[in-house]
């Protein structure tokens, strides 16, 4: 069938070339317009449920909000994990589904479960579903800063602008899922009641709260029926200004109205802070943009930037827009550009190799057309199936370059050689046909064998499967496209460019003739000493494979982004103001480092965000100039953080951090999770585990993850004392809530803007426990009168230890100990150290993180790889009809790994899943070349009548010398720019694979040119039957 395709192509040359030209144009157009992203869609479907509980302490949030909602969600179909965090005033539950569900259906299931959940306590809820966002996290970050932030009024104005003008405008951009706001001062209308005025007018807080509600109300008026028309009645008593609030009546005394202005200060206020932001050491508003699942990051970011450009012309006075904080689209563009540049550079080197060996620009032109045509055909199929162009698909295209280059070189070299050896009178089409058909079966068998080599990648599960399967798809599609091009386009181009030229009268170039003479002498020597060559090869392979397990490992290599996320955790209980001030000092120190563009701090959490972080926790987006080494910049960050030893620090690139979160639910590369019912026991176990892990060499930044003990104020209602004064517990809680948090009594509407309306006491109650004890609590007095007693009279106040955040996983309390790992076998040492941790009954420990993904991927690759190897062996037997020849190809392949392992060791490249896939590609290259060489030996015996022996081996190896060297040099030189681009964006995944392949090409070439001919002469049988026709 394959020969029939070649024959048809040569008979329809014009049609084939026209279709090839159309494919080139269409493919180039599609590649330019294809959706691009950092990684494939790797995160499983997840639904985030958030429930506000104003004023609730973390244990109250856990018991009264998180527990009942978790119980309603845990039994849903398709759930793999349920993770939750309870902090002061907020419960966040993340429901993670298996990768085989549909997000829209998952959200509907969660919504139904929430509707059936028990009712939440007063002041909590309702539970709401957070907007669905892309797995990679926020894609764009910008901010506002300037002199306006030096005053409270300016910060109020900046926050209003960000929340009510910028955020709605960006949410209207197609593809945007959510926009969060940090910093500035959120505005509220505050009625600040003066306790002495309440005594003066004999009023209590409940009366004031009721009066404020009544002052800001509206009702449905219905219709007014005029003689000829019905008019809608708009009856509104809503307040819109502070003056209207001040003049609102509370009650009357002796016919004189008492207004809110008489008993309270009515003004703009701010809620208790839950977050803040700074940029380059100055107060700021920072905003993050999240895109929707399936949205293309680059066009979404461009649309957001276009919208910001329009808003930038209407900025309030004293406010400056900062666009340079973070952009995922910049990293994507740099990645694509970097790989495109590397591929162009590699392509030029390939052409030079072809010209050097063939001394024919015509042959080079054939390869120049065939290589991009094969890759663009693969891109057309991928994009047609809905895939994005990302680091993994581009990595697959890079890996496939070896096979694509080999396909074009094999055809061009064999056709050129046959034309040189043909009679001048021979028909060009027949020479091209027979030359192509001669190698076609072996190329097809090699292509399908290499496809089997990549089969294990498709059996990876979980995160690693979602990330790396697109690489395998791109690789296999590229090799199959290359086979199709070799069957159709290459013979036609060879007819037009080679068969009709004077190539038939040309001999090998002087360079090629000298190479062949030297090679014959070398291979002749190895044929005379097979035992020494075999022992040396075996020792080298065993030594290299023995070293591999001791090399440093990681699940994924670090991404060469121009950003780092730096985490800072201060002591629990640290105020927002103090934490922001410490962050500003860090920002100023970072800005002194060369190459730093900007540093933006996000402290605590955003009102509309998914994070549950307390105010003693900050994240910094540090952006530095392109071209700076990530490792070097990490060193500079570590040097700066060392100046602040009182804080816990960690840092990583944004993409790696998000992968860690999906793997283990944390931002660190390694997490030890302790599970159990009692929080005090968990905290004690976590502290001991932290100490044990910290003693392991290679474990850095060891800390208990955001769950350390905190100091809290406990207010216990004294029912016996309250009975004396006739005070209920609700009166006490209302007084405390109003004094500290403010009682939410409504909303003030100003066009599209909405501001909370609260009643509270002056904030002079903050600052000391004594001031808290003096909070006035209303008590009944003489008929119609009100008296006040201090809070300490009816309640006991004390400072007690508590928790800033309580985490659950699948309904169980959990405390995580996190660390960053460097070096080899660190996890194994940690396991041995943690074995000394004695866990009480009902408690258990799990380890998770990048190492887990790497180990699982390695086990599955090895397991499925064994089956793939068996399949390859049977495919080789089908091709050769000889088990002996099939085993000769298989047994010699491990020698190719020697160079790859040496290259990994010399370059200090961690053994990640990316390097393991590089070894798989190397296996495919060695397998392909072995098949081609053994097939040529068999062709010489069965088709050309050569007698089996050293002369036949010398001739066959000599004739395969040029295509093997051309492929190795062309592919190797094509990878050199990628290897050298290790610190550039886009090379994070391709570079480790390129290092392995480039090193392996050296030993793989030696294998094919020296070892395999010697093994074939020693072990092959002279009378092997011919292969079956395809």
Residue-wise pLDDT for 612-645, tens only, equals: 788 888 999 999 887 666 667 788 888 999 999 9
How far apart, in whole angstroms, are the C-alpha atoms of residue 337 and residue 398? 14
Closest CA to 119 of 58, 65, 52, 57: 65
CATH architecture of residue range(s) 1-33+359-507:
Up-down Bundle (1.20)
Q: Can you give the pLDDT at residue 824?
A: 58
Q: Please give the backbone phi and psi of residue 34, each rounded to the nearest 5 degrees, phi first.
A: -65, 150
Q: Is 211 exposed, middle or buried (0-12, 13-18, 19+ CB in 10 A)?
A: buried
How far apart, in whole angstroms, are the C-alpha atoms of residue 222 and residue 219? 9
Q: Can you give the pLDDT at residue 510?
A: 78
- Written as six digits, the tokens of 188 are 């509220």
DSSP helix/strand/coil, 846? strand
For 834-886, strand residue ranges (E) read 844-849
Strand partners, 937: none
DSSP helix/strand/coil, 191? strand
**What is the C-alpha radius of gyration for the chain, rounded to an integer number of angstroms?**
36
Tens digit of pLDDT for each residue in 698-751?
787 787 875 555 678 888 889 888 888 888 888 888 888 888 888 889 999 988
Q: How many CA atoms lie within 13 A of 269 on its CB side?
A: 24
Domain 188-221+233-269+727-784 in the same topology as domain 1-33+359-507: no
Cis peptide before 126 (omega within 30 of 0): yes
CB atoms within 10 A of CB 440: 22
How far apart, in whole angstroms, are the C-alpha atoms of residue 848 and residue 452? 31
Question: Do 205 and 728 contact (CB within 8 A), yes or no?
Answer: no
Question: Do 388 and 38 contact (CB within 8 A), yes or no?
Answer: no
Strand partners, 218: 236
Q: What is the largest CA-CA distance in the chain?
A: 128
Closest CA to 932 of 1004, 988, 989: 1004
CA distances from 409 to 139, 402, 936 (A): 43, 10, 15
Q: Can you give the pLDDT at residue 507?
A: 65
Strand 188-193 and strand 753-760: the pairing is: parallel
Give me the residues of the chain with pLDDT under 70, please. 338-339, 342-343, 346, 358, 422-427, 462, 499-508, 548-558, 560, 627-631, 662-669, 706-710, 765-767, 782-785, 822-824, 850-858, 981-988, 1023-1030
CA distances from 346 to 137, 242, 964, 975 (A): 34, 69, 18, 6
Q: Which residues contact 164 (CB under 8 A, 6 or more apart)?
A: 752, 753
Question: Do 743 and 759 contact (CB within 8 A), yes or no?
Answer: yes
How far apart, in whole angstroms, are the C-alpha atoms of residue 212 and residue 192? 12
Strand partners, 714: 798
**Alpha-helical runs (H) found in 359-461:** 361-384, 391-421, 428-453
Hey, which CATH number is domain 511-550+881-1030, 3.40.50.10860, 3.30.1440.10, 1.10.3720.10, 1.20.1640.10?
1.20.1640.10
Q: Please give the backbone phi and psi of residue 366, each rounded to the nearest 5 degrees, phi first.
A: -60, -45
Q: Can you give the pLDDT at residue 1030?
A: 42
Q: Name residue, tokens 């005053």.
A: 151
Domain residue extents for the chain: 1-33+359-507, 188-221+233-269+727-784, 511-550+881-1030
Question: Do 412 and 357 contact (CB within 8 A), yes or no?
Answer: no
CB atoms within 10 A of CB 912: 24
Please provide the CATH number assigned to the domain covering 188-221+233-269+727-784: 3.30.2090.10
Q: Can you give the pLDDT at residue 267?
A: 93
Report which DSSP code applies to 36: B
- Written as six digits, the tokens of 96 are 């993670």
Q: Please give the backbone phi and psi of residue 40, each rounded to the nearest 5 degrees, phi first.
A: -65, 170
- Written as six digits, the tokens of 358 are 């063939």
- Written as six digits, the tokens of 8 are 């048809």
Closest CA to 417 of 963, 996, 968: 963
């Amino acid at each position: 069938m394959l020969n029939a395709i070649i024959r048809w192509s040569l008979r329809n040359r014009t049609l084939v070339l026209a279709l090839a030209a159309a494919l080139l144009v269409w493919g180039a157009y599609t590649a330019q317009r294809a959706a691009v992203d950092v990684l494939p869609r790797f995160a499983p479907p997840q639904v985030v449920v958030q429930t506000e509980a104003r004023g609730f302490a973390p244990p109250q949030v856990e018991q009264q909000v998180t527990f009942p909602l978790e119980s309603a969600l845990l039994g849903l179909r398709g759930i793999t994990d349920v993770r939750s965090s309870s902090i002061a005033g907020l419960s966040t539950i993340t429901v993670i589904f298996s990768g085989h569900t549909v997000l829209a259906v998952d959200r509907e299931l969660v919504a139904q479960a929430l509707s059936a959940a028990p009712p939440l306590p007063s002041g909590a809820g309702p539970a709401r579903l957070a907007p669905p966002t892309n797995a990679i996290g926020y894609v764009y970050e910008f901010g506002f800063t300037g002199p306006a932030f030096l005053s409270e009024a300016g910060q109020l104005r900046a926050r209003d602008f960000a929340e009510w003008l910028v955020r709605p405008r960006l949410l209207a951009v197609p593809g945007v899922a959510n926009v969060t706001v940090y910093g500035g001062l959120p505005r509220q209308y505050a009625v600040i009641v003066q306790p002495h005025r309440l005594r003066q007018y004999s009023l209590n807080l409940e009366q004031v709260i009721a009066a404020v509600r009544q002052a800001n109300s509206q009702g449905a008026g219905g219709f007014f029926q005029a003689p000829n028309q019905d008019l809608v009645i708009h009856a509104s008593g809503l307040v819109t200004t502070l003056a209207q609030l001040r003049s609102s009546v509370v009650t009357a005394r002796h016919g004189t109205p008492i207004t809110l202005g008489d008993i309270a200060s009515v003004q703009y206020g701010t809620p208790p802070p839950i977050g803040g932001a700074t940029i380059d050491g100055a107060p700021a508003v920072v905003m993050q943009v999240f895109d929707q699942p399936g949205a293309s990051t680059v066009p979404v970011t461009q649309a957001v930037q276009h919208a910001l450009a329009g808003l930038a012309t209407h900025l309030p006075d004293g406010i400056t827009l900062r666009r340079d904080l973070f952009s995922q689209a910049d990293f994507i563009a740099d990645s694509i550009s970097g790989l495109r540049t590397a591929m162009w550079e590699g392509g030029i080197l390939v052409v030079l190799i072809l010209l050097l060996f063939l001394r024919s620009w015509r042959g080079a032109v054939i390869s120049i057309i065939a290589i991009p045509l094969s890759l663009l055909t693969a891109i057309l199929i991928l994009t047609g199936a809905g895939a994005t162009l990302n680091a993994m698909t581009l990595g697959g295209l890079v890996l496939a370059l070896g096979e694509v280059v080999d396909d074009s070189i094999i055809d061009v070299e064999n056709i050129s050689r046959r034309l040189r050896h043909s009679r001048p009178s021979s028909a060009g089409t027949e020479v091209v046909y027979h030359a192509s058909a001669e190698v076609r079966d072996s190329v097809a068998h090699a292509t399908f064998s290499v496809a089997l080599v990549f089969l294990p990648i498709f059996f990876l599960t979980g995160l690693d499967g979602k990330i790396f399967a697109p690489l395998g798809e791109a690789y296999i599609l590229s090799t199959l496209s290359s086979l199709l091009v070799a069957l159709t386009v290459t013979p036609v181009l060879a007819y037009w460019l080679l068969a009709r030229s004077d190539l038939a009268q040309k001999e090998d170039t002087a360079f090629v003739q000298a190479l062949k003479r030297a090679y014959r002498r070398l291979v002749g020597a190895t044929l005379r000493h097979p035992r020494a060559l075999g022992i040396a090869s075996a020792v080298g392979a065993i030594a290299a494979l023995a070293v591999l397990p001791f090399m440093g490992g990681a699940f994924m290599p670090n991404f060469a982004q121009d950003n780092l996320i730096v985490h800072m955790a201060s002591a629990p209980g640290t105020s927002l103001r103090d934490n922001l001030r410490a962050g500003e000092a860090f920002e100023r120190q970072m800005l002194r480092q060369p190459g730093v563009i900007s540093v933006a701090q996000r402290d605590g959490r955003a009102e509309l965000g998914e994070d549950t972080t307390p105010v003693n926790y900050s994240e910094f987006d540090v952006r530095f100039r392109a071209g700076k080494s990530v490792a070097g910049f990490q060193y500079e960050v570590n040097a700066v953080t060392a100046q602040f030893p009182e804080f816990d620090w960690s840092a990583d690139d944004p993409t790696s951090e998000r992968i860690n979160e999906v793997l283990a639910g944390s931002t660190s590369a390694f997490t030890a999770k302790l599970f159990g019912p009692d929080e005090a026991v968990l905290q004690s176990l976590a502290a001991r585990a932290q100490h044990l892990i910290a003693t392991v060499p290679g474990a850095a930044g060891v800390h208990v993850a955001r769950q350390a003990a905190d100091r809290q104020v406990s207010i216990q209602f004294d029912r016996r004392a309250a009975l004396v004064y006739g005070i209920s517990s609700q009166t006490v809680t209302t007084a405390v809530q109003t004094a500290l948090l403010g009682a939410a009594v409504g909303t003030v509407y100003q066009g599209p803007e909405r501001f909370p309306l609260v009643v509270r006491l002056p904030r002079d109650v903050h600052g000391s426990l004594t001031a808290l004890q003096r909070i006035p609590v209303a008590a009944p007095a003489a008929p119609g009168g009100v008296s006040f007693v201090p809070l300490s009279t009816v309640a006991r106040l004390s400072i007690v230890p508590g928790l800033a955040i309580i985490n659950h996983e699948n309904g169980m309390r959990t405390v995580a100990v996190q660390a960053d790992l460097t070096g080899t076998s660190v996890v194994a040492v940690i396991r041995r150290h943690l074995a000394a941790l004695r866990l009480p009954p009902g408690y258990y420990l799990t380890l998770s993180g990048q190492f887990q993904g790497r180990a699982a991927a390695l086990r599955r690759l090895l397991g499925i790889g064994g089956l793939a190897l068996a399949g390859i062996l049977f495919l080789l037997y089908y091709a050769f009809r000889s088990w002996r020849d099939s085993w000769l190809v298989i047994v010699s392949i491990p020698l190719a790994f020697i160079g790859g392992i040496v290259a990994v060791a010399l370059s200090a490249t961690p053994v990640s899943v990316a390097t393991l896939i590089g070894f798989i590609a190397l296996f495919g290259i060695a397998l392909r070349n072995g098949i081609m060489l053994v097939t040529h030996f068999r062709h010489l015996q069965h088709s050309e009548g050569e007698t089996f022996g050293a002369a036949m081996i010398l001739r066959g190896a000599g004739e395969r010398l040029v295509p093997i060297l051309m492929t190795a040099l062309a592919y190797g030189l094509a990878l050199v720019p990628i290897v050298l681009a290790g610190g550039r964006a886009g090379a994070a995944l391709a570079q480790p694979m390129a290092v392995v392949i480039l090193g392996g090409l050296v030993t793989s070439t030696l294998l094919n040119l020296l070892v395999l001919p010697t093994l074939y002469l020693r072990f092959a049988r002279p009378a092997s039957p011919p292969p079956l026709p395809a």
